Amino acid sequence: MHYLFEPGLFSSGPVRTALLVGAVVAITSGVIGVFTVLRGQSFAGHSLADVATTGGAGAFLVGLNQFWGFLAAGVAAAAVMEGIGVQRRRGRDVATGVVLGAALGAAALFLYLGTLRTATTGASFTVLFGSIFVISQDTVPALVASGVVALLVVALLARVLLLTSVSPDLARARGVNVRLVGIAYLAALAVSVSLAAVAIGAVLSTALLIGPSATALRITKTPARAMAVSALGGLLATWLGIVLAYDSYYWPPHGHGWPVSFFVVALVLIGYLLSYVRPRAKRVPRSPHEGVECSPA
Amino acid sequence: MFSGLMMNTWITASIVAVIAGMTGFFAVLRGQTFAAHAIPNGAFAGAAGASLLGINVIWGLLVFAVGGALAIGALGGEGRTALRRSRNDVVTALALVLMLGLGALFVSMGSQYAEETYADLFGEVFGISQGEVLPIAALGIVAAAAIAVAFRPLMLTSALPEVAEARGVSTRRADLYFLVVMALATSMTVPVVGALLMFSLMIGPAAAARSVTARPGTALTLSVVIALATVWLSIALSYQTNWPLGFFVGTIGAAFYLIGQAARAVAPHRAVAG
């Protein structure tokens, strides 16, 4: 046990904060990610994280806490994407791509202006890859609260969301406002993604959003179970990643920690690949004509 | 603005615009926007790895771009149903995340990270040497030839996948072929223009062209023309203001798309691929 938990792991303040924030991020991403994968919005989920970087860079520029920048940019981008989002899938991807391109350009500008002013080139790296060990104590309540809000929105909408994800036409026939549900969902996604972006970096928040949920959807049969498995898997990957990253200070090359994001991504991927190894016989035989399925991944 | 060193910039950027306009047209048509984003971005991690090992950055870019393209093409589902596409998205996301995770590791192990990261992501288009222009020109010709040779199967599998399958053209193989061409194009252009710029340049102009015309030939030409216009405008503005090129490319590309959408709203036409 001593080899896994290096001395001083649990007495360190930053590590405790990291474990707490990591847990919130993993659970929120895990639950919301199930819908992201079901709705085929992986690209939007990833783009929102990238767009949030723009907000992070902008916040850095004006000297605000990055989290608010991430959050504002993420929610604004979600609104724009849904606004110009064509209902057809291909058009939606293109609209997402255009928003993403424009936002990344703005990020380039903000980072450039930021480095002009403060001469810390490391900023672009922190904004993109985040660092869970340097979250300031005063943002923790805001982080936890936004995670809870996102979860609540999805929990309240869960049934309707599932229906609109699996069969929008049926939902429409039952009088559900598909568009409104889509916007509410995308806003929750934006909140969850900006949260993850702060914790493990904008770029790698995709790992926690897509990986555990895709894995869970492959190995479970009902959406509710998929959400539970996904949240649990994400939590496990995050905590183990944090512990390994902390330990890695004692690994070669000496005095050089390995990034948390690398460990989290590696663990998430191992989980996804393992879901392929599972014996095929256990899968429920499905009719080839069945139009709706719960496990697209 | 047109002095010796700047001429290299103009020439290189024009070649990159042509490559991006062509590959972007098919990326948009085939619904592979996400892959167009993932491959250049993931390739950037390869650059970090190569500079860690002390070998030429190009090798790292090549390995990661082509590796990523093959992974996306091989593990992603075949066919165009919603189910398969969703799985395709998941595989693309995970491939991207894996490459970026490795990138974070490489960068943290290297020493001169911040400047390099910035250059690989946002490009260093000013200050291209004569020696860098030639390989990119060669690559431009190769990429154009690769697309010209496979133009008909690529069009057919994009627009009418069922007809293509019936005629014995494999959609999946066409996907793989196109992704590898895109990866090759990317690995040469990323160190010059940056991963983010390459993506903006592929999507904005192509999407704008597609919303104006439904004819494939016209749309392809228009896509290249808009890409060129975007790049030229951006270089001029960036030269004048000293602001990063990526900012102008991103915003001008998006502006062209909005103009295209507005034009479409005024004079609607029938889309070519459903």
What is the number of structural domains in chain A? 1
If we measure between CA atoms, which residue out of A21, A54, A281 comes closest to residue A133? Answer: A21
B119-151 burial, b at 16+ Cβ within 10 Å, e below that, comes to ebbbbebeebeeeebeebeebbeebbebbeebe
- Position A31 scores a pLDDT of 92
A169: domain CATH number is: 1.10.3470.10
A89: which chain B residues are within 8 Å (Cβ-Cβ)?
A: 31, 82, 85
Task: Please state, as a whole number, how many other Cβ atoms lie within 10 Å of the Cβ of residue B74.
Answer: 12
In the predicted structure, residue A206 carries a pLDDT above the cut 90: no
Residue holding tokens 């058009």? Answer: A91
pLDDT band at A131 (very low <50, low <70, confident <90, very high): low
**3-state class (DSSP) for residue A12:** coil
Name, of A80-89, A269-278, A284-293, B119-128, the range with top average pLDDT.
Answer: A269-278
CB atoms within 10 A of CB A44: 29
Residue A61 in domain: yes
Whether chain A has a CB inside 8 Å of the CB on B82: the answer is yes
Domain membership of residue A210 (yes or no) is yes
Radius of gyration of chain B (CA): 18
Whether residues A93 and B104 touch (CB distance < 8 A) is answered with: no
Average pLDDT over residues A43-72: 81
Domain spanning B4-196: CATH superfamily: ABC transporter involved in vitamin B12 uptake, BtuC (1.10.3470.10)
Query: What is residue B72's predicted lDDT score, i.e. its pLDDT?
Result: 87
In a domain, A244, yes or no: yes
Selected for mutation to probe chain A from B91, B118, B259 (highest A CB count within 10 Å) is B118
Residue with tokens 């924030």: A21
How many angstroms separate the most distant Cα atoms in chain A?
63
pLDDT digits (tens, 9 = 90+) for A208-217: 899 999 999 8
Task: Answer yes or no: are the C-beta atoms of B203 and B26 closer than 8 Å.
Answer: no
What is the domain extent for residue A140? 13-275
Binning pLDDT at 50, 70 and 90, where does residue A5 land?
A: low
Q: Is B217 part of the contact surface with chain A (CB cutoff 8 Å)?
A: no
Q: Model confidence at B227, in pLDDT bands (50, 70, 90)?
A: very high
Q: Look at residue A233 in the predicted model and tell me its pLDDT.
A: 93
User: Is B97 within 8 Å of A105 when comparing Cβ atoms?
Assistant: no
Whether residue A296 lies inside any domain: the answer is no
Of A94, A104, A293, the CB nearest to B200: A104
> Which of residues A54 and B116 earns the better pLDDT score?
A54
CB within 8 Å of A38: residues ≥ 6 apart: A162, A165, A166, A217, A223, A294, A296, B86
pLDDT confidence band for A186 (50 / 70 / 90)? confident
Q: What is the pLDDT of residues B181-191, one digit of tens each?
A: 999 888 878 87
What is the Cα–Cα distance from A239 to A236, expressed in whole angstroms?
A: 5
Report in angstroms the alpha-carbon separations of B42 from A243, B87, B101: 26, 19, 9
Please indicate if any CB of chain B lies within 8 Å of the CB of A109. yes
Residue A262 within any structural domain of the chain: yes
Minimal Cβ distance to B243: which of A46, A100, A109: A109
Q: What average pLDDT does range B110-138 have in this prediction? A: 69
Task: Reply yes or no on whether the pLDDT at A68 is more than 70.
Answer: yes
Helices (H), chain B: 4-29, 33-53, 57-75, 82-109, 113-122, 130-149, 151-159, 161-166, 171-193, 195-212, 216-241, 245-266
Q: How many CB atoms lie within 10 A of CB B83?
A: 16
Query: Contacts of residue B28 in chain A, CB cutoff 8 Å?
Result: 94, 97
Give the nearest partner residue to B104 out of A106, A262, A297, using CB atoms.
Answer: A262
- Residue A116 pLDDT > 80, yes or no? no
Q: A133 touching B, CB under 8 A?
A: no
Q: How far is A144 from chain B (nearest CA, A)?
A: 25
User: How many Å from the N-terminal Cα to the C-terminal Cα in chain B?
Assistant: 44
Q: How many C-beta atoms surround the C-beta of residue A20 within 10 A?
A: 14
Closest approach of chain A CAs to the CA of B204, in angstroms? 6
Q: pLDDT-derived band of residue A290, with 50, 70 and 90 as boundaries?
A: very low
Q: What is the mean pLDDT of residues B142-147?
A: 88
User: Taking a C-beta distance cutoff of 8 angstroms, is the pair B97, A210 a contact?
Assistant: yes
A97 in B contact zone (CB under 8 Å): yes
A288 located within any domain: no
Which chain B residue's Cα is nearest to A35?
B86
Lowest-pLDDT range of A24-33, A112-121, B1-10, B209-218 = A112-121
